[in-house]
Structure 1
């Protein structure tokens, strides 16, 4: 009889644990906002401003207002960048300094996802994830280089969306 009770309790415990795990998985797997939401559209536009203006067109002044003063960038090949000033200088030096050989970034269609962050029911930030491909433009030739994943943490600072943290990782050669 005791053996049956212990077996019942073990089985019940496993079922409860699985139920709790399923609940949390469903809670977090549905946290992504719809691509038609204002938040998604705003952060997609900001992503475009950052990469189209600064990375692709070297209009670094356009991007300054979007970068938090408390900015950090983590790159799986380039290391850590600990400040807004260092980040913008790095773009100027590494991306925009050679007019004969220019990197270009494109967001992979359909890869962008946005997850809101709340504190006490009030939106304070968002996590933006996606995949982007990089190309090298040399004269009139464009060749693919790498594809990578990115994660951005956006925070509302004085009612403005500011890019605070960036992770750029899993850089892999683009296979033709």
Structure 2
């Protein structure tokens, strides 16, 4: 029940951010500037560490960064609450086949008091098996939980 409350709160928060971003874009205001530069740099670094492991098929490091209570929402692949299933799908569908790059300047990081942070950004995937296939930017949302100096991915929303 607690994870549903956290997810619902995060979803409402993200909806508010989306409306705010759309209002700023339409009003011609400046682009995103992080409120907490240290937190921003930490999450960008964690994103880089995780996706370097993803691109190199370092499943042990991915396993260490994913929380045991992982929830993964994929607009095409569905919903999973199994960390083992997400890792198996990565091995089967991603390893040595796909690489991910973040769209420069697209990451936004918002603190969640007493929990961690939400990362929102754009990334693109390169399919090594179809090198001429068109690439497009996709939105992602990652909810990070902090315990001491340790950061874990607890929720992923992947939209293509």
TM-score, normalisation: structure 1? 0.66
- Structural RMSD (CA): 2.5
Q: How many Å separate the matches in 2 of 1:91 and 1:46?
A: 18
Q: Deviations over 1:96-142 (max 9, x none)?
A: 2xx5xx111110000000000114xxxx2100000001111149x46
Q: How does 1:56-135 map to 2 (within 5 A)?
A: 56-96=55-95, 99=96, 102-119=97-114, 124-135=115-126
Q: Which has the higher contact order (CA 8 A, sep 6+)?
A: 2
Q: Could you tell me which runs of 5 or more consecutive residues in structure 2 were left unpaired when the two chains were aligned.
A: 1-19, 25-31
Which residue does 1:50 correspond to in 2? 50
4+ residue segments displaced more than 3 Å: 141-146
Give SS of 1:164's match: strand
Please list the CA deviations of residues 35-81 of structure 1 after superposition, one character each: whole Å capped at 9, or x if unmatched: 8x221111111111222212x11111122211111000000001012
SS in 1 for 2:137: strand
Structure 1 equivalent of residue 38 of structure 2: 38
Q: Does the 8 Å CA contact 1:126/1:154 hold for their aligned counterparts?
A: yes
Structure in which a larger fraction of residues adopt strand: 1
In structure 1, C-alpha distance between the alignment counterparts of 2:77 and 2:118, rounded to whole Å: 22
Greater Rg by CA = 1
Structure 1: runs of 5 or more not aligned: 1-24, 172-176
Q: Output aligned runs, 1:132-151, within 5 Å.
A: 132-138=123-129, 141=131, 143-151=133-141
Retained in 2: the 8 A contact 1:32–1:114?
A: no
* Pairs aligned (count): 132
| Shift of residue 32, structure 1, vs aligned partner | 6.2
Residues 15-30 of structure 1: pairs in structure 2 closer than 5 A: none
